[in-house]
Structure 1
Amino acid sequence: MPRQRFTYLIFIVITIITGLLSRYFKAVPLFIGDILWATMVYFIARFLRVKKPMKFALTAGLLFCFAIEFSQLYKAPWINELRHTLFGRLVLGEGFLWSDLLCYVVGIGIGILVDKLINKNAHSRGFSVT
Structure 2
Amino acid sequence: MIYFLVRILFPKKNISTVILLSLLICYSIEFLQLYQDEWIIRLRKTIFGRYVLGQGFLWSDILAYTFGILSISFIEKIILKYKKV
Whether the TM-score (by the shorter chain) exceeds 0.5 is: yes
Using the TM superposition, give the Cα deviation of residue 75 of structure 1 relative to its aligned residue in structure 2, in angstroms.
Answer: 0.7
| Equivalent position of 1:101 in the other structure | 62
Match of 2:14 among 28, 53, 56: 53
**Is residue 67 of structure 2 the alignment partner of residue 114 of structure 1?**
no
The aligned residue for residue 48 of structure 2 is: 87
Offset at 1:118?
2.4
The 4+ residue runs of structure 1 with deviation greater than 4 A are none
What letter matches 1:98 in structure 2? W
Q: CA deviation at 1:95?
A: 0.1
Residue 33 (structure 2) pairs with residue 77 (structure 1): no
* Structure 1 Cα separation of the partners of residues 77 and 47 of structure 2: 33
CA distance in 2, matches of 1:88, 1:114: 31
TM-score by length of 1: 0.61
For this pair of structures, how many residues does the alignment match? Answer: 85
Give the aligned residue type for 2:35: Y
Which amino acid in structure 2 is aligned with residue 102 of structure 1? Answer: L
Pairwise CA distance, 1:59: 0.4
Q: Which segments of 5 or more consecutive residues in structure 1 lack a partner in the other structure?
A: 1-39, 125-130
Cα RMSD for the two superposed structures: 1.1
Q: What displacement does 1:117 show? A: 2.7
User: Which of the pair has the greater relative contact order for Cα pairs under 8 Å at 6+ separation?
Assistant: 2
Shift of 1:90: 1.3
Match runs of 1:25-40 below 5 Å: 40=1
State the distance in 2 between where 1:98 and 1:62 align. 14
